[in-house]
């Protein structure tokens, strides 16, 4: 991809993020150490790597489920589709009966379990939101690529249908027992948390989409999503979780607070204000990878100014020290998510197989933005937005896209450039 913009900082940010993210990728057949971590900095041997990329701490030789699902859109945009599918299959295949149909948390790059997070079938890291996010990741990858493997692969399909039936409740008190939340810092005895419920809501909607892609009826999953949304609206007012004795937990809880907004389970303006104020003030997470969810959250609710402010803050912090050692910019999630936030957030590119919708959200200070070489399906497009005008160029040789922008739907043949304006005229 190539970027051009009136904002020089945005250009530098995108170019840095693309370059840095690609440095974390491993082509198939690469050789490298296994089970590297802070206790074993040299690892325990060497293996042949799968097509994959770093998703987690740079001082550990592997990819983590939570990081992977958040990095997947950026990885697609950077041409790492083979890695995305391979890594998704690793997680899905690990959700065996002996693992309670829950995926293993972390893998070495050769596809073996990462030892620091896996002690055995009954003792490996499990956090409830990740179970559902993997289903959503499959649907996201299918939207961008059109690759039928995300829909038809029997291992993936078996995982999807089982995962949405698992309850978002904690299995135990610690991460090796199975927690209800991604928030590992508070140590609260939550039986169910807002991020787990929100992730399940998104997984129901994803499952409806995946079913329809298979020619099946997805209405039941859509109904279950709407029922969950109604339940949340009536029973979770001001609540971000419940303890094992049923006591509601309120106040700031990082992931358990912002995931309901991130997954569109709620569109509460007061909650969005609360998230912005807390994350930028007394409730600020110590780890930069937590900040990377905030631009996504604000873009999804039409708040480009807040989203862009957080993108700038994340980028500005790249030379700062990470709480686990090294630099913030060496945490892979930082670069991968900045890539996707430019394309999905600022330019508002939404793929739907052979269809594309654009809903740009440029903040003050970004007068115009253009990105070319955006991969969609088996081809690519260029999108430019300035003022009330969006231009899309089909760079593909054989694909015709259906493009919706400004309330207007148009067919864009190969090599064609079309324009949409807010007035609805083309």
Distance CA 256, CA 158 (A): 28
Mean pLDDT of 331-360: 96
**pLDDT the model gives residue 426:** 42
Among candidate residues 305, 330, 346, the one where a domain is terminated: 346
pLDDT digits (tens, 9 = 90+) for 211-241: 999 999 999 999 999 999 999 999 999 999 9
CATH code of the domain containing 70 = 1.50.10.10
Distance CA 106, CA 322 (A): 20
Residues 189 and 313 in one domain: yes
Which residues have CB under 8 Å from 23's CB, separation 6+? none
Residue 424's pLDDT band, with cuts at 50, 70 and 90, is very low
Residues 292 and 387 in one domain: no
Closest CA to 156 of 225, 104, 86, 204: 86
Residues 282 and 413 in one domain: no
DSSP3 helix / strand / coil % (the chain, rounded to 5): 40, 20, 40
> pTM of this prediction?
0.97
Distance CA 22, CA 1 (A): 12
Please compute Rg for the chain using Cα positions: 21
Distance CA 426, CA 409 (A): 10
Residues 279 and 413 in one domain: no
Residues 353 and 317 in one domain: no
Residues 298 and 384 in one domain: no
pLDDT of 314 > 50? The answer is yes
**pLDDT the model gives residue 419:** 96
DSSP lists the bridge partners of residue 62 as: 108
Which of 345-348's residues contact partners 24+ apart within 8 Å by CB, and which partners? 345/295, 345/296, 345/299, 345/304, 345/307, 345/311, 346/10, 346/299, 346/304, 346/308, 347/371, 347/383, 347/385
Which residues have CB under 8 Å from 174's CB, separation 6+? none
Edge-first strand order for the sheet with 401-405 is 349-352, 355-358, 401-405, 408-412
Asked if residue 365 lies in contact with residue 56, where contact means CB atoms within 8 angstroms, the answer is no
CA neighbours closer than 13 Å in the CB half-sphere of residue 267: 5
Helix (H/G/I), strand (E/B), else coil: 190: strand
**pLDDT the model gives residue 425:** 41
Distance CA 217, CA 189 (A): 38
Residues 359 and 326 in one domain: no
Distance CA 101, CA 155 (A): 12
Distance CA 224, CA 211 (A): 14
Among candidate residues 322, 346, 370, the one where a domain is terminated: 346
CATH code of the domain containing 384 = 2.60.420.10
Residues 244 and 368 in one domain: no
Beta strands in 129-269 (DSSP E): 190-193, 241-243, 248-249
355-358 and 401-405: which strand pairing?
parallel
Distance CA 28, CA 49 (A): 6
Distance CA 318, CA 335 (A): 9
Mean pLDDT of 111-119: 98
Distance CA 75, CA 337 (A): 9
Cβ count near 365 (within 10 Å): 12
Residue 185 structural domain: 2-346
pLDDT of 252 > 80? The answer is yes
pLDDT digits (tens, 9 = 90+) for 364-379: 999 999 999 999 999 9
Residues 310 and 358 in one domain: no
**pLDDT the model gives residue 354:** 86
Q: Where do the H-state alpha helices sit in 43-80?
A: 65-77
**pLDDT the model gives residue 422:** 84
Distance CA 59, CA 330 (A): 10
Residue 199's pLDDT band, with cuts at 50, 70 and 90, is very high
Mean per-residue pLDDT of the chain: 96
pLDDT digits (tens, 9 = 90+) for 147-186: 999 999 999 999 999 999 999 999 988 999 999 999 988 7
pLDDT digits (tens, 9 = 90+) for 272-302: 999 999 999 999 999 999 999 999 999 999 9
Among candidate residues 346, 370, 400, the one where a domain is terminated: 346
Asked if residue 109 lies in contact with residue 47, where contact means CB atoms within 8 angstroms, the answer is yes
Nearest 10 degrees: CA dihedral of 114, 120, 124, 130?
A: 80
Asked if residue 118 lies in contact with residue 124, where contact means CB atoms within 8 angstroms, the answer is yes
How much of the chain, in percent, has pLDDT values that exceed 90? 96
Distance CA 126, CA 174 (A): 9
Number of domains in the chain: 2
Residues 28 and 91 in one domain: yes
pLDDT digits (tens, 9 = 90+) for 33-69: 999 999 999 999 999 999 999 999 999 999 999 999 9
Cβ count near 20 (within 10 Å): 18
Residues 86 and 12 in one domain: yes
**pLDDT the model gives residue 56:** 96
Residues 239 and 333 in one domain: yes
Distance CA 330, CA 325 (A): 10
DSSP lists the bridge partners of residue 383 as: 371, 392
Rounded to 5°, the CA angle 367-368-370 comes to 160
């Amino acid at each position: 991809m190539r970027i051009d913009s009136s904002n020089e900082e945005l250009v530098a940010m995108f170019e840095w993020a693309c370059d840095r993210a690609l440095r974390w990728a491993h082509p198939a057949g690469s050789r490298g150490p296994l089970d590297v971590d802070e206790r074993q900095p040299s690892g325990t041997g060497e293996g042949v790597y799968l097509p994959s990329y770093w998703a987690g701490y740079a001082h550990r030789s592997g990819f983590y489920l939570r990081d992977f699902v958040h990095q997947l859109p950026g990885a697609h945009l950077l041409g790492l589709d083979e890695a995305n599918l391979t890594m998704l299959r690793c997680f899905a295949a690990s959700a065996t009966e002996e693992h309670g149909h829950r995926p293993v948390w972390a893998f070495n790059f050769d596809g073996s379990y990462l030892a620091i997070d896996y002690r055995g079938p009954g003792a490996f890291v499990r956090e409830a939101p990740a179970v559902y996010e993997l289903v959503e990741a499959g649907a996201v990858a299918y939207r961008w690529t059109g690759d039928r493997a995300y829909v038809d692969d029997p291992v993936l399909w078996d995982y999807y249908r089982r995962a949405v039936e698992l309850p978002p409740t904690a299995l135990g008190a610690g991460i090796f027992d199975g927690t209800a939340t991604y928030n590992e810092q508070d140590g609260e005895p939550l039986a169910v948390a807002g991020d787990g419920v929100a992730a399940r809501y998104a997984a129901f909607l994803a499952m409806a989409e995946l079913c329809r892609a298979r020619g099946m009826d997805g209405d039941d999953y859509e109904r279950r999503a709407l029922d969950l949304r109604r339940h949340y609206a009536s029973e979770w007012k001001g609540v971000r979780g419940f303890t094992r004795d049923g006591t509601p937990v309120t106040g700031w809880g990082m992931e358990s607070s912002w995931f309901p907004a991130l997954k569109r389970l709620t569109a509460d303006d007061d909650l969005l204000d609360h998230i912005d104020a807390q994350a930028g003030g007394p409730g600020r997470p110590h780890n930069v990878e937590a900040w990377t969810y905030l631009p996504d959250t604000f873009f999804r609710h039409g708040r480009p100014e807040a989203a862009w402010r957080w993108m700038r803050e994340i980028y500005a912090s790249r030379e700062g020290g990470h709480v686990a050692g090294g630099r913030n910019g060496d945490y892979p999630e930082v670069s991968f998510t900045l890539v996707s936030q430019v394309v999905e957030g600022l330019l508002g590119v939404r793929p739907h197989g052979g269809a594309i919708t654009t809903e740009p959200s440029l903040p003050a200070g970004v007068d115009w933005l253009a990105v070319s070489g955006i991969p969609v399906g088996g081809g690519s497009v260029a999108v430019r937005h300035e003022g009330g005008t969006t231009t899309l160029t089909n760079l593909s040789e054989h694909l015709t896209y259906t493009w919706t922008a400004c309330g207007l739907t148009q067919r864009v043949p190969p090599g064609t450039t079309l324009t949409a304006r807010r007035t609805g005229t083309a």
